[in-house]
């Protein structure tokens, strides 16, 4: 998984430029740019809109999920799914793994919600179609999902960008305090975690100490019990030094894609 700080994305207005936008520039545009709604995205369980976010001459395609459009769930507090989308991005950035596309929280045409950079990709491709060629990315996402307690890692939530980078999206039902991991990525169950990934996990633990910026950011997005549960999951991974095996009960989402 690449560690550089530049997402491989160019807006239509920047196609002729040699230098892509940095992550920080993308976040700034998503947070402060004007929003132009393009339409409702099909097949989403919650209201999800394709929008264009423009600042000066730069326009970025993005996915907007307003809080008001979140479908009520019995086990997740109403109105928190957009916050969990942002929390997943915070953890991805703290790890340095560039798994989650830049994601912000702000007001939009339908009220407060999350806005995430749209990833240009082949819609026919998903994790189960390209996993053999991207095992390293699969390992990163598998560990990431354990950390954030992802209750819905479908194959279609893993995207292969046209630039070859693998991204993961749809993190609204994550970070629950109770074990809820459901994922299609069990390819590495029981496998030892590589030394470089263990070092990343230890660095994340340092960044989740009281007073550190990622900890402060997550404290504003998650319930204290959910933040403590994140600490416990991270500690268990570090102690085990291996990818977990599926537990009892349902551990694969449906539908899988």
**For position 5, what pLDDT does the model report?**
37
Tens of pLDDT, residues 135-171 = 999 999 999 999 999 999 999 999 999 999 999 999 9
- Examine the pLDDT at 232 and tell me if it is beyond 50: yes
Q: What average pLDDT does the chain have?
A: 93
Does residue 50 have a cis bond before it (omega within 30 degrees)? no
Q: Which of 3-17, 47-61, 122-136 has the lowest mean pLDDT?
A: 3-17
Look up the pTM and report it: 0.93
Tens of pLDDT, residues 185-203 = 999 999 999 999 999 999 9
Mean pLDDT (whole number) for 231-243: 98
Structure confidence at residue 114 as a pLDDT band (50, 70, 90): very high
- Examine the pLDDT at 16 and tell me if it is beyond 60: no
**For position 244, what pLDDT does the model report?**
97
Mean pLDDT (whole number) for 8-24: 58
**For position 1, what pLDDT does the model report?**
40
């Amino acid at each position: 998984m690449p560690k550089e700080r530049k997402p491989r994305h160019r807006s239509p207005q920047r196609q002729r430029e040699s230098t892509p936008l940095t992550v920080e520039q993308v976040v700034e545009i998503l947070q402060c740019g004007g929003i132009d709604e393009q339409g409702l995205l099909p097949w989403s369980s919650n209201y999800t809109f394709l929008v264009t976010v423009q600042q000066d001459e730069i326009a970025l395609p993005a996915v907007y999920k307003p809080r008001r459009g979140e479908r009520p769930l019995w086990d997740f507090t109403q109105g928190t799914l957009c916050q969990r989308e942002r929390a997943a991005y915070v953890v991805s950035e703290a790890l340095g793994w560039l798994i989650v596309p830049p994601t912000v929280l702000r007001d939009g045409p339908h009220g407060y919600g999350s806005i995430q950079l749209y990833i240009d990709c082949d819609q026919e491709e998903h994790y189960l179609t390209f996993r053999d060629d991207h095992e390293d990315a699969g390992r990163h996402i598998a560990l990431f999902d354990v950390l954030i307690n992802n209750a819905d890692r479908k194959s279609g939530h893993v995207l292969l960008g046209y630039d070859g980078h693998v991204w993961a999206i749809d993190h609204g039902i994550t970070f629950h305090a109770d074990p809820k991991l459901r994922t299609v990525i069990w390819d590495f169950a029981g496998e030892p975690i590589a030394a470089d990934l263990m070092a990343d996990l230890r660095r994340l633990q340092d960044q989740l100490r009281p007073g550190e910026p990622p900890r402060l950011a997550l404290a504003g997005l998650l319930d204290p019990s959910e933040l403590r549960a994140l600490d416990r999951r991270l500690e268990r991974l570090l102690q085990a030094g291996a990818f977990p095996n599926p537990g009892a009960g349902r551990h694969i989402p449906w539908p899988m894609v």
